[in-house]
Structure 1
Amino acid sequence: MIAWLNPATGLAGDMFLAALLDAGAPLTVVWGAIASTGLTGWDLTATRVVDHGLTATRVHVSVEDTATSRSAAELISLAGQAKPAPVADLAVAALRAIAQTEARLHGTDPDSVHLHELGGHDTLVDIVGVAAALHALDVTSVYCAPLPLGAGTVSTRHGVLPCPAPATVALLDGAAVTGTTLTGETVTPTAAALLRAIGASYDPVPLLHLGTTGYGAGTRTLADRPNVVAVSLGSSTVETRSLVMLETTVDDVTGETLGHVLDRALEEGAHDAWAVPVTMKKSRPGHVVQVLASPQTAAALSELLLAETGSLGIRSYPVARTALPRWTSSVLVGGCEVRLKSGPHGSKPEFDDVAAAARTLGLPLREVARRAVLGGDQ
């Protein structure tokens, strides 16, 4: 599953978690993962709110231990106990990113760094909660729109610092960001650390079969817009399959036989088949005959190649084929049916149909093809 984040007003750890819950992550599963860390004295609730006419989910984290300053090692140790293991791995990676960043900014060692504003147990709840929600939704990659960074200042243990906070800027190294008219901390270090640990991509979203979209509300109230982040889930429309390439090189097979071999291979289930002219030893002209087969048909197609060409051997090796979605439709050109093979980047008319229509209508091939691509007799 692919997740696409649209942080129109910014992103915080609790907003990220709320959006994932709104998109369908079970609260009980998230709760169980947080509980498995051994953390006590906390509570996590999710409620539905309406912000500027948009319904969203807001989470509230309460902890009995309200201290906001503790060692990063303590939080990392707790996160490492989370179940299942992938949840722990992501949570630990996010907390280590925070610890390494703070250590670099303050000239200390990551193993001994002490977190101040980020040292609260609510940070652990947010981070483990997001990791658990992503795992529950089977999200394998995350894409994120440019993050809006607000101006102004933020109060910290070290005094008043410019926004975005230095830790946030460091954690967002390599991220796509943009300015905003909003002031204050629009992206928190917790959110930035999660994006870094996830390996979020800021490239354009790939082709998707779009599914559920969840909205996570922040605690800040804005005068003119909903303070929400949207998380859209989708599955990739690009299919990658493991296939087998079969090939043999021949110099004593006639053109008629080569054509017959390729036709037979396609009839017997090959995904594709072709012959490439080559110059062989002693400068003899020949052909490399190649057949793209599934693992299930590779053996039978190998036998076909050997039997029809008389070759003494076959080379075979695994290949990965990435295929975009495609579909077939039909249009009428001058009353003649022409099938169209279409994909994400364009359409191509079926040649046999174009040739038949051109003969019937007395038109050039290119004219029939042009009219077919434009929609035919509309």
Structure 2
Amino acid sequence: MAIIIDPQVSGIAGNMLIGAFVDLGADANKLKEVMEKSAECFGKVEVTFKKINKKGISSTYCHVEMLEHKHSICYPKFIEKIKKLDLDKKVKETSIKVFERIAIAESKIHGKTLDSVHFHEVGASDAVADVIGSIYAYYSLNLDNQKIIGLPIAVGGGRVETAHGIIPVPAPAVVEVLKNAKMIGGPVDSELATPTGAAVYMEICDEIKEFIPLIKAKKTGYGAGKKDFDHPNVLRIIESSDIAESDKIDVIETNMDHLTGEEIGYLFDKLLDIGARDVSVTPIIMKKNRPGNLLKVISRKENREKVIEAIFKETGSLGIRIAPNMHRGISKREFSKQIFNINDKDYEVTFKIGYLNGEIISKRPEYEDLKKIAQDSGLPLKKISEMIR
């Protein structure tokens, strides 16, 4: 299973997350009770849920009305109050992590220590209800057992009025919270991403991707935002089953016409040893009809520089072509060990098993295991392979 959080068009806010979770099946009545009770030590809120239509899309709107608000509170005292709430341990701990993300962002922006940070908007009772409601709904749907993938966040544009005066959108706190995430400006001059929504997103997402990976959608939930635009102001959450995982790789290649077979074999092994995911060598005809070879290497980004350096040193190449951040589909795979008795001796063989839609599409023994059995038993490798298969 995989959960896709899609804030690419209308951004993200705490109440939009809650609405989308309710659309996916979270209990609205229980959420109302939890949110209103949790906010009591910071003020008073009234929570209501209703189905509304946003530019043709039926969605759930979570309205959190602040009836009473107490003064701003310093971060340590704020966390003390959260810890005293009558909530499930996991909900409380994750909510504290969300608030910590916001406090760290505020401390960096204002040049303060964490203990001296004061929550204004975030310490308000409605923001507390938003965060705790989001996290409670997340656990109530057992989403902590699923892979959560976040897509880029539309942050809006223009200016917004805050307790610190008029500031540009996205607000500094949002930018700080969304470090290492992917943001999209616009599509309107309005605030689309709130610090609370952004912090919850960063806390629960396991991975952030630019595109929806190859999936099979099972259910979709839409959480409505308060404002109306020329586009549907909704946050989309997709519940899916993976068809295949998506992976980002670099494809690195160069032409070679001066290396011996032994030197190519040495380079081949060296590239795999330093982390290349795959290496291939293809015979080609080069300029002036010279025979040569095309070296193609698949590598993850973190190993790119080591791979390139090795190719330069071992080949003396004057130019290497790099196609970065290419997407490849990879089937789900797992490894299984089985025991085989050959010539009255037990041998352990590891199989790599590939799945598509839950069905096995390949089950292959690892070459190194077959090689060891052949060397130990004296039988031909081909015979061992046939016996194992």
TM over 0.5: yes
Residue aligning to 2:355: 323
Residue aligning to 1:266: none
Cα distance in structure 2, aligned partners of 1:229 and 1:146:
12
Report SS of the residue matched to 1:49: strand
One-letter amino acid of the structure 2 residue matched with residue 42 of structure 1: V
One-letter amino acid of the structure 1 residue matched with residue 22 of structure 2: L
Taking only aligned residues, the RMSD between alpha carbons, in angstroms, comes to 2.9
Report SS of the residue matched to 2:173: helix
Change in Cα spacing, 1:197 to 1:79, as seen in structure 2 (3 Å) is farther
Change in Cα spacing, 1:121 to 1:214, as seen in structure 2 (3 Å) is same
> Does 2:57 match 1:54?
yes
One-letter amino acid of the structure 2 residue matched with residue 125 of structure 1: A
Q: How do residues 103-252 of structure 1 correspond to structure 2 at under 5 angstroms?
A: 103-139=107-143, 140-203=146-209, 204-222=211-229, 224-237=230-243
User: Matched residues, percent identical?
Assistant: 28
One-letter amino acid of the structure 2 residue matched with residue 94 of structure 1: V
Cα distance in structure 2, aligned partners of 1:207 and 1:84:
35
Change in Cα spacing, 1:170 to 1:92, as seen in structure 2 (3 Å) is same
Residue aligning to 1:268: none
Once the 2 structures are TM-superposed, how far is the Cα of residue 236 of structure 1 from its aligned partner? 3.4
Residue aligning to 1:69: 72
> Does 2:14 match 1:13?
yes
Q: Is the 8 A contact 2:34 2:133 kept in 1?
A: yes
Once the 2 structures are TM-superposed, how far is the Cα of residue 200 of structure 1 from its aligned partner? 4.7
Q: Is the 8 A contact 1:215 1:228 kept in 2?
A: yes
Which sections of structure 2, spanning at least 5 residues, go unmatched? 246-334, 363-389
Q: Is the 8 A contact 1:94 1:127 kept in 2?
A: yes
Task: Tell me the TM-score normalized by structure 2.
Answer: 0.61
> Does 2:93 match 1:89?
yes
Report SS of the residue matched to 1:124: helix
Q: Is the 8 A contact 2:127 2:196 kept in 1?
A: yes
Once the 2 structures are TM-superposed, how far is the Cα of residue 232 of structure 1 from its aligned partner? 1.2
Cα distance in structure 1, aligned partners of 2:198 and 2:27:
24
Residue aligning to 1:252: none
Q: Is the 8 A contact 2:336 2:353 kept in 1?
A: no
Once the 2 structures are TM-superposed, how far is the Cα of residue 33 of structure 1 from its aligned partner? 4.1
Q: Is the 8 A contact 2:39 2:125 kept in 1?
A: no
One-letter amino acid of the structure 1 residue matched with residue 96 of structure 2: V
List per-residue Cα deviations over 1:51-87 (Å, max 9, x = no partner): 2222211111134422462223344334333532221
Whichever of the two has the greater Rg, that structure is: 1
Cα distance in structure 2, aligned partners of 1:202 and 1:74:
33
Report SS of the residue matched to 1:175: coil
Once the 2 structures are TM-superposed, how far is the Cα of residue 206 of structure 1 from its aligned partner? 3.9
Cα distance in structure 2, aligned partners of 1:320 and 1:122:
51
One-letter amino acid of the structure 1 residue matched with residue 68 of structure 2: D
Once the 2 structures are TM-superposed, how far is the Cα of residue 213 of structure 1 from its aligned partner? 0.9
Cα distance in structure 1, aligned partners of 2:53 and 2:39:
34
